[in-house]
Structure 1
Amino acid sequence: MARGVIEAGERFGQKIYERLRQEIKAAPVVQLDETPFQVLDLDQSHGYFWSACSTEEFSPHQVSYFHYAPSRSGKVITEILGDDFSGGIMCDGFSGYSNNRLPEAYWGTCLVHINRQFKRLLDPKITRFQGQSIASDAVRILAKVFHIEKRLKYSSASEKAAQRRQHLKAMIDDFYQLIEEALTKSPLKPLRNAIKNALKLKKRVYQMFRHGELPLHNNHNEQLIRPTTLVRKNSLFAKSTAGAKANAIWYSIVQTAKLNHLDVFKYLETLLNAFTKRETPEIEAYLPWAREIQ
């Protein structure tokens, strides 16, 4: 069974898979995330699935692309996007997502991840500490940002950026003023760490006011990558690097099909029939958003 999945990926899935990567490279904004995945033939404990997807708004096509790599090194980003990518990147604060990798790109950051660090400090199981009210105020401000973002009215990325400047910027300014003042009062380590993380990412947070096509968070990609964690729990590992790469191919094809509202089983059946009967089928006609497929 595993050998069949690998061979099908190499024979039939690879061309579609590579075409999806080209679509990601051309996207105005790419959302990136990564998750560990154990491969038995590796010397180290595990490799990684890297997930790249187009944004839900302002993207010509909805694409989900998975790339297997043996490491979490930031150089994997250029393996996916090339070294001349000049669009936007939405990601979390992981150090591998470095401006130095793609100097022509502009970088946003996940406001939900920033919020999460403050929210953890409000867990009822945590003993109350001095400065906890700062975390509460930070979470309250960001909750309002998320709420108002959903109510913005716009018809283009530039209009969205303008709406954000009008309705959200003062709140983000207040958020940073709050935590910058709190840092001068020598807060306890948990709060200090949350503040320093938010300050480290400040420039990326403010990119939302220049680039309306940047989402506020990476939730869309995290939802797409979640099935890989479920598979990891059920199948535990891949035996070989070839198996992990085949997984990446089929994850990409299946998730992109779902994003384009296809019946996954029927789509895979169509692909396999086409690639079995023809030596060189027209790839464009079999992409998930193609008129012939829809």
Structure 2
Amino acid sequence: MSSAPFLDLSAIPEDQRDAVLALLQENVALKEKATGLQSKAADLEDLVKRLEHLVAELRNAVHGKRSEKLSEDERQLAFEDLEVAVAEAETQHDEQAPTAPAPQRAARRNRGNLPKNLPRIEQVLEPESLDCPCGCGEMHMIGEDRTERLDIIPAQLRVIVTVRPKYACRSCAEGVTQAPAPAHLIEGGLPTEGAIAHVLVSKFSDHLPLYRQSQILARSGIDLHRSTLADWVGTASFHLGPVVDRLAEHLKRSSKLFMDETTAPVLDPGRGRTKTGYLWALARDDRGWGGDDPPGVVFTYAPSRGGHNAEQILQGFDGILQLDGYAGYNRLTRSSRKGGAPITVAHCWAHARRKLKEVFDRDGSEIAAEGLRRIAEIYRIEAEIRGMGPGQRRSARQARTAPKVAEFGEWLQSQRRRISSKSRLGEKLTYIHRQWDGLQTFLHDGRVEIDSNSVENLIRPIALTRKNALFAGHDEGGRAWGRIASLIATAKINGVEPFAYLKATLEAIAAGHPTRRIDDLLPWNFSPSS
């Protein structure tokens, strides 16, 4: 045999030759199997090394040095790639050992989480024959197995054809009647209010610029230029303006608000390049202490970061304002403030912590590390009392937090006397010192948060839209951006689906929704059945 070329069969008794040959064949098969298993083991080892590398990369991105950390968006991509790699490794393992018992691992399904309102298309699979194998006759159904899988059909486009029959009297020329034409947001225009809402959500929630939406529509045979979509957005922005203005009025009636600003690059045709505009975020979020007022945010575009913009936006508001240490807000605390009495400021401990963290990450400063440790103790108490009523929070802060804040203040002044104010650490300590009064505001009012992270979380989607859209085409585009983003963000933080809300709101406006009932159109008053 070719499998045993050096074996002399003549030396083996004839009655044992078959058994020896069988053993030799089995040995060859085992060697081939062993070789295959070694190859598979090597492949799996390579996969494990790859996954270990990805995990190390992700761990470094999350916990590594600041200069090596990923942004929020990049971190999500890293998570996605890691999960893709895990799924690939599991699939490869299954394919390499199809006959071996499969290890127990989580099934790749999401049973029970498919919404009941999704349309179901049933596919009934009958056996090839219902005749009993024993010849007893036709079998009867005694039960069934049902499985559900999610199917996705690319966005369906359809045409709404409105037919209005005309009726006339056969006996005279006076009796012609016809149903009135339904009201549309864009009279005589192409889109339904649902189509406009889809464009708004795609641009300002899914961060898909209009020119990309135009390209996607073209794949379905719909030729809609970017400028046409821009007309739809502008019309919607105009009609939604009163709703956003009313939203701002509601927020400014509150006793406490957050404020922050973020850049919004805007094309400057006169210079052929972009200039830096700003979206100012004014937000209310009382969920930390169980407040009754629903959360909301309004983004207001301004061409500059000057403090007078904040002063203008806050006209009529006289409560506590939580913000970072930007000097432009200082004018709000002066007696000369326009639009109201001087505002009480609550500064942000997260920003104070961030200043020390920058020094620690760069220099490994023991002083910065001590400051971070002290701030962590304050945050630990905040985590324990989150969700309690304002009275309970104030009592806990006075009893537990105030002594730690006082100790931090003494430590801060002690370090400032020792360290040059011109050094990197000295500059950070001076920053905290300048905000010291505002950093203590939260101790005396249980409604006040320890930081302004709430508003920072709300403006994060703005940054993603900015990244994908590159810039706004004009100052007016920046205003529309802020207006529509306000309604989408407020809908989201109130648990309202933005498309359903905007579609219903645009339909109501087109139908002549009365101004006196404009509060009905605010996101927190929307329900899917309305």
Return the TM-score normalized by structure 1: 0.91
1:48 aligns to what? Answer: 278
- What is the match of residue 234 of structure 1? 468
The offset of 1:158, in angstroms, is: 3.2
Which 4+ stretches in 1 moved above 6 angstroms? Answer: none
Give the drift of 1:117. 0.6
2:407 is equivalent to residue 157 of structure 1: no
Q: Aligned partners of 2:528, 2:307: CA distance in 1, in Å? A: 36
Q: Name the residue aligned to 1:120.
A: 358
Question: In the alignment, which residue of structure 2 is the partner of 1:9?
Answer: 237
Report whether the alignment pairs 1:23 with 2:250: yes
Higher mean C-alpha deviation, range 227-236 or range 54-63: 54-63
Residue from 295, 302, 325 that aligns with 1:93: 325
Please point out which of 46, 68, 76 is paired with 2:301.
68
Moved more, 36-45 or 242-251: 36-45
Q: Pick closer, same or farther for the CA change 1:62–1:202 going to 2, 3 Å.
A: same
Query: In structure 2, do the counterparts of structure 1 residues 155 and 39 end up closer, same or farther at CA, with 3 Å as the change threshold?
Result: same
Number of aligned pairs?
287
Q: 2:511 aligns with which of 274, 277, 289?
A: 277
Tell me what 2:167 maps to.
none
Q: One-letter code of the match for 1:289?
A: W
Aligned to 2:414: 181
Q: How does 1:184-195 map to 2 (within 5 A)?
A: 184-187=417-420, 189-195=423-429
Deviations 1:70-117 (A, max 9, x none): 1111111222220x4221100000001111246432110110000011
Residues 247-258 of structure 1 aligned to structure 2 (within 5 Å): 247-258=481-492
For 1:61, give the aligned amino acid. Answer: P
Q: SS state of the match for residue 286, structure 2? A: coil
Say which structure, 1 or 2, has more relative contact order (CA 8 Å, 6+ apart).
1
After TM superposition, the structure 1 stretch with the greater mean CA deviation from structure 2, 2-11 or 110-119, is 2-11
Which has the larger displacement, 226-235 or 102-111?
102-111
CA distance in 2, matches of 1:232, 1:277: 33
Q: Tell me: CA distance 1:127–1:157, structure 2 relative to 1, closer, same or farther (3 Å).
A: closer
Code of the residue aligned with 1:263 in structure 2: it is E
Paired residues of 2:286 and 2:293 also in contact (CA < 8 A): no
Name stretches of at least 5 consecutive residues in structure 2 with no aligned partner.
Answer: 1-228
User: Which deviates further from its counterpart, 215-224 or 43-52?
Assistant: 43-52
**Aligned alpha-carbon RMSD (Å):** 1.9
Partner of 1:135: 368
Matched with 1:144 is 377
Counterpart code for 1:29: K
8 Å Cα contact 2:258/2:452 also seen in 1: yes
SS, match of residue 214 in structure 1: coil
Whole-angstrom CA distance in 1 between matches of 2:490 and 2:386: 28
Task: Return 262-271 or 278-287, whichever deviates more.
Answer: 278-287
Deviation larger for 181-190 or 37-46: 37-46
* Counterpart AA for 1:201: Q
Q: Which residue of 1 aligns with 2:4?
A: none
SS at match of 2:306: coil
- 1:180-237 CA deviation, whole Å, 9 max, x = no partner? 1011113471110111011101100111111221111111111110111101110011
- Kept in 1, the 8 Å contact 2:359–2:425? The answer is yes
1:216 aligned partner: 450
Q: Secondary structure at the match of 1:46?
A: strand
SS in 2 for 1:182: helix
The structure whose Rg is larger is: 2
Q: What is the one-letter code of the residue matched to 1:72?
A: R
Partner residue in 2 for 1:39: 266
Q: Aligned to 1:14, what secondary structure does the other structure show?
A: helix
Aligned residue number for residue 211 of structure 2? none
Residue type at the aligned position of 1:255: A
8 Å CA contact retained: 2:496, 2:526: no
1:280 offset after TM fit, Å?
A: 2.9
Q: Distance in 2 between matches of 1:193 and 1:23?
A: 39
The one-letter amino acid paired with 1:290 is N
Q: Whole-Å Cα distance in 1 between the matches of residues 268 and 366 of structure 2?
A: 49
Identify which range, 151-160 or 176-185, moves more after superposition. 151-160
Cα distance in structure 1, aligned partners of 2:351 and 2:396: 23
Question: What is the Cα deviation at residue 290 of structure 1?
Answer: 1.7
Of the three residues 238, 263, 267, the one matched with 2:497 is: 263
Aligned to 2:75: none
Aligned to 1:202: 436
Does the C-alpha gap of structure 1 residues 144 and 49 become closer, same or farther in structure 2, counting only changes over 3 Å?
Answer: same
> Percent identity between the aligned chains?
26
Deviates more, 1:214-223 or 1:187-196: 187-196
Greater shift, 33-42 or 114-123, is seen at 33-42
Alpha-carbon spacing, 1:127–1:210, altered in 2? closer, same or farther (3 Å): closer
Whichever residue aligns with residue 503 of structure 2, its letter is E
Q: Structure 1 regions of 5+ residues with no counterpart? A: none
Q: How far, CA to CA, are the matches of 2:454 and 2:326 in structure 1?
A: 18
The alpha-carbon distance between structure 1 residues 144 and 215, as it changes in their structure 2 partners (threshold 3 A), is same
Give the Å deviation of 1:59. Answer: 5.4
Q: Which amino acid aligns with 1:79?
A: Q
**Aligned residues of 2:501 and 2:526 also touching (Cα < 8 A):** no
Q: d(CA) in 2 for partners of 1:190 and 1:69?
A: 32
Q: Give SS of 1:86's match.
A: coil
What is the DSSP-based 3-state SS (H/G/I as helix, E as strand, rest coil) of the residue aligned with 1:93?
A: coil
